[in-house]
Structure 1
């Protein structure tokens, strides 16, 4: 029966995916008109944004076993904003890579902040919708986590560029830790077990996006942005360290 529900919900996923591409296309058209950068940079922006959204939509359309529900629809809508953040990255990074500037301009930082803030705030809405409608699924939770991870990686790259690349490469560790952990699962198969609930993990994960968004605001001094980001990274490393320690202890049968 769940499989039938999943199959029946596939047209809704396709429809929402098409609407998401239309919305992103409109946003990219505005970016094309407003951004004063070379055409290759704009092409890279468009391709990156479409690639991020394409991966999101593909995961919903190809889902098996669990239905596509109202909460997933919210996450797909949020992914349009995440894809737009991705599209903005080449616009800000191009002058840095060409060594035409030491840091991105304030207008770009404000743009990433303006798009990233609602994408981060909407993170709690999809979970609320899932609980409210009784449509929570494990696939939907994983879907939400992956969209969160992509947003965090993009914001960490943006903050690193504002603080100053290449010296601020360490900021990207905030966004890369999730993917490093997934790589660790391939090296250590015993880690592939469900972690126990942790308030510390939830709180630390929740503040990462807020700290990175705050560090992007041009009104915040760079020194303060660096301090806040260092603290956020330290908390995140402790969180991952706790989880890895628990997984290792269980893998060795110590607890």
Structure 2
């Protein structure tokens, strides 16, 4: 039996936000004890992690139009894992960008993989919880999408580093395409129209995280990781191109 929706969600959102910051703070403290890097790298790591959780908590607390529900609580919890993965980026990228190494060490790749994998797997849990409890909302769906997008950005950067920067810069397009589309909406009002449901779009979007996670695994040969990532990017470009064509045609039909 679906649970009734809460009509006063903000205190719960604030409580979950505090818990998210506490959990991230504890994880960052452990990370800082385990790694041996310079202070600016630690500062950058902490700033990135806090920025991710801060943005997610701010979005949850400031919501006005629809209630904050159980599925949103899962999304907030998932954002802590995404934030920790983001905090790991400076640790692994600093030697690469400083040209002290061609690629990050395997230990770092495994660490990002271990943190990001549950964040990716939990993507389907919040939707299931929303349906199970009868608390699905459009705001919750957008909330989930933004956390997904943040995870893809983190994984794109990590995978690009493992595949070899600057040559693998193209991997960053996987994480950047959603934000480029949102930027395009400011220029093309026709792109703001709601898209019809598409199984193809959903499957392609789900593939991206799995492929990027696989590309991080040191046991997978680099040529295989590169090939899989190229295929994933081509599929994603096709999905976005298909949606843009539909939006343009729909816009012309209404004009």
TM-score w.r.t. the length of structure 1 is 0.97
Contact in 2 for aligned 1:57/1:76 (Cα 8 Å): yes
Deviation of 1:5 after TM superposition, in Å, equals: 4.9
2-side partners of 1:48 and 1:254: how far apart?
A: 43
Contact in 1 for aligned 2:9/2:69 (Cα 8 Å): yes
- 5 Å matches for 1:133-172? 133-172=133-172
Match of 1:178?
178
Match of 1:98?
98
Total equivalences in the alignment: 251
- 5 Å matches for 1:9-20? 9-20=9-20
Contact in 1 for aligned 2:117/2:213 (Cα 8 Å): yes
1:192 to 2:192 alignment: yes
2-side partners of 1:207 and 1:25: how far apart?
A: 31
Q: Deviation string for 1:120-174 (max 9, x for gaps)?
A: 0000000000000000000000000000000001100100000111110000000
Contact in 2 for aligned 1:5/1:66 (Cα 8 Å): no
2-side partners of 1:134 and 1:105: how far apart?
A: 45
1-side partners of 2:73 and 2:108: how far apart?
A: 29
Give unpaired runs (5+ residues) of structure 2. none
Deviation of 1:89 after TM superposition, in Å, equals: 0.2
Deviation of 1:97 after TM superposition, in Å, equals: 1.3
Match of 1:242?
242
Match of 2:24?
24
Deviation of 1:202 after TM superposition, in Å, equals: 0.5
1-side partners of 2:119 and 2:215: how far apart?
A: 16
Runs of 4+ more than 6 Å apart: none
Give unpaired runs (5+ residues) of structure 1. none
Match of 1:53?
53
Alpha-carbon distance change, 254 to 62 in structure 1, aligned in 2, over 3 angstroms:
closer
1:111 to 2:111 alignment: yes
2-side partners of 1:84 and 1:106: how far apart?
A: 18
